[in-house]
Structure 1
């Protein structure tokens, strides 16, 4: 047996390719399937199965298209009831190929239909693909389908975790969700494990009482990205093939010809954005989590025009957008001329601390509630970055005075600066550091 994992850091997910004696099994593939099929071709194996553990909430799946491209058998949980051809996986009903057996294990909790897959080679159990059920030192969160169902799913998750924990200790645990995913209930660490390691170290497996387990799982839920609501329906009905990743080059004048509601998305480095960006544009510099922030902050499926530097490759941001089903990029503008009239200031920790000494200073903390609970900046007005879109700028912030903006590293603060600037505020962004650094500097 050989196992290849494909990490998608911005989504906090892993896709797996298991191969054995010329046959391959692909598990939970994202939409950009060429990278997986290239690995299949490199190994000269027949892709026999494509397995989906659940109807994903954080990305649109490439499972259907991977099966269509290769002739592999697409397997989904029976209760998923997807609208395209597939093999329904029923609890403990084996799916077999020569020397290779896939044993579905119904593990509801993250979603109602969630199914894990135990892999047996020549009759011996070797690995379990646990999707969003049992994770490394964590579990998949049960609240993504709304608060009304969250407690029921949390209690189901308790049974599912213990069902998987009853497998032999030496079986490899191969979850889809991991560190960086908003689908985890708590901070997952490493990406893979074994059943034995989780029995010894996963704190959730130590909670025997189901009500206490549900309380713990639901005690401090993370925010749910806005685009998640569109992923499950898309994965139920079917996802079209990836669009072309090349986009037209546009002139600044072409912006006037774009459809109503077009969003201008600036992907240049924050240092370049700070020096001048288009009024009304949203700045999200390219990084692993670019697509997640774009999907969270922009109206879903709105037409998008990118702003990039001359020579800057935009394949990565277009790919990340397509991974969450956004195929609406209409082009890229590279020369802003004299139109880049909005600006914000970037400062380091010492300068930020000096500005805080001014009694008229105002500070906006755009971190998540859980981050603020761990380390607070005294006197700061607190509003999570996406809430600037849904709730607006806090009324306490005076647009006539500069506003010091901080997060955990400067990334979200820089995004917030473009949102603030378009509403007439004067942002001063802590960059390359975060609130914890400011708090530490002020105590020394």
Structure 2
């Protein structure tokens, strides 16, 4: 039996895959530059990555395929139509690669991107499973608007044909997608990461669309917002991510040097918890609490052309911060040595942000969740502006006392920090979400956009 190990990145909502080839070698599929999970999984099984396959030019993370080719001698397998500028084996529809007993057959499945491939894994002539990348997903299909606005509909029509092609595979065939729940590349309804062809034919609303026009309308209607760095990483992956000569670092920076850097345009990114940021932070710093989704929000809110300096709690892992930034192509200038305590001890100003509980909410409320979240249930009369849009639309937010809220508090504190940078005062952040308010107040949430 072929062992296929999913390696889930909860923050990006993606899965990479490690395939045991049975002879001490492994195939890895759609692995990010943060190779720690795949390296750990391979080491535990005594495997060496011999092949690194990419289904498409990823927009949400830097591929780790080139890194594996340099450090492990892995053969990079990718679409010839992607025109990658580094050593790889360019594949076209129907090509097969001998993995040593197992074989990989390419299926052209454009839609998410022009050059998208799916990989059918074969044991002799028996299909074992199919890596569908950003084509057929669990209950969905990946978005088609990351290439160019004028190509979105044409790519959606290509996605329709690609899903129909995949649906012709055997019903019991395992489907191993890359994008899943939590990915801004897709909008799957549940938490399942893998599926089968038959399950998708029975339950995937896009596969059940009666015709191409209905499919396109449904797919385009599901497209939400996405981080701006998605528009840059595809090209970086085509040219080839820079090869790391070691783990990314987070060097310490003395207080006075950080102060000078801020004067010259650097940005402080505070990764401590919501409660810690509320209790005291450097004025003008950006709150992005360290959690699985840190990389996505760093890429959404922090400008890539400004030096980024981290403020962390001593219990937070600097390696995790540096790796999350690196996998989306962000380099960090370093961290404030001694953290917020050192800043205060040097006599520099510290400010606070009020944190309120559900029973303390009063006055205007700004809900900064995604549109689908807001529509599913929000406080009556709450204003709505997605966090990702806030950076460019702060002047639309009333300069009045506001309670900022999201689902738990992390994104809301990020929004409050952006508003504080823009000069807003008398802000509070809800420590919780709409369900907490409904439970305390006994009132129903409103629905609809």
Q: TM-score, normalised by structure 1?
A: 0.93
48-57 vs 415-424, greater mean Cα deviation? 415-424
CA distance in 2 between counterparts of 1:132 and 1:47 reads 23
Matched residue of 1:310: which SS? Answer: coil
Structure 1 stretch displaced more, 242-251 or 228-237: 242-251
Structure 1 247/98 Cα, relative in aligned 2: closer, same or farther at 3 Å? closer
Q: CA deviation at 1:257?
A: 3.3
SS state at 1:364 partner: strand
Aligned residues: 433
One of 327, 338, 341 as aligned partner of 1:323: 327
- What is the match of residue 425 of structure 2? 425
Cα pair distance change 1:160/1:128, threshold 3 Å = same
Moved more, 191-200 or 181-190: 181-190
CA change 1:248–1:410 in 2 (3 A) is: same
Please tell me whether residue 349 in structure 1 is matched to residue 349 in structure 2.
no
C-alpha deviation, 1:366, in angstroms: 0.8
Is the CA contact (8 Å cut-off) linking 1:220 and 1:370 kept in structure 2? no
1:390 partner SS? coil
How far apart, in 2, do the equivalents of 1:420 and 1:339 lie? Answer: 21
SS of aligned partner of 2:160: helix
The SS at the match of 2:236 is helix
Aligned partner of 2:233 in structure 1 is 231
Greater Cα offset, 9-18 or 34-43: 34-43
Q: Which runs of 5+ in 2 are unaligned?
A: 445-449
Which deviates more, 363-372 or 4-13? 363-372
TM-superposed CA distance for 1:331, in Å, is 2.8
Q: 113-122 or 403-412, which moves further after superposition?
A: 403-412
SS at match of 1:102: strand
**1:192-212 per-position Cα deviation (integer Å, ceiling 9, x unaligned):** 111121122111110131011
* Residue 134 of structure 1, aligned match among 110, 133, 136: 136
Q: What do residues 22-72 of structure 1 show as CA deviations (whole Å, max 9, x unaligned)?
A: 131100010022432343233233433210000001011111111222222
Is the contact made by 1:301 and 1:328 (CA closer than 8 Å) also made in structure 2? no
Q: Tell me the equivalent position of 2:434.
A: 435
Contact 2:138-2:188 at 8 Å conserved across structures: no
What stretches of structure 1 move > 6 A for 4+ residues in a row?
Answer: none
> Matches of 1:265 and 1:285 in 2, distance apart?
9
Q: Tell me the distance in 1 between the aligned counterparts of 2:99 and 2:115.
A: 24
Larger displacement relative to structure 2 (300-309 or 128-137): 300-309
Of residues 308, 311, 322, the one that matches 2:312 is: 308
Q: 1:277 to 1:161 in 2, by over 3 A?
A: same
Instruction: Give TM-score, length-normalised by structure 2.
Output: 0.92
* Contact 1:30–1:323 (CA under 8 A) maintained in structure 2: yes
Q: Is contact 2:137–2:188 with CA below 8 Å preserved after alignment?
A: no
Which residue of structure 1 aligns with residue 403 of structure 2?
404
Q: Which runs of 5+ in 1 are unaligned?
A: 356-360
Q: Deviations over 1:163-219 (max 9, x none)?
A: 111111121100000010000144353001111211221111101310110011001
Give deviations 1:97-135, integer Å, cap 9, x for gaps: 331110000000111110000000122110100000000
Contact 1:342 1:421 in 2 (8 A): no
Matched, 1:29 2:19: no
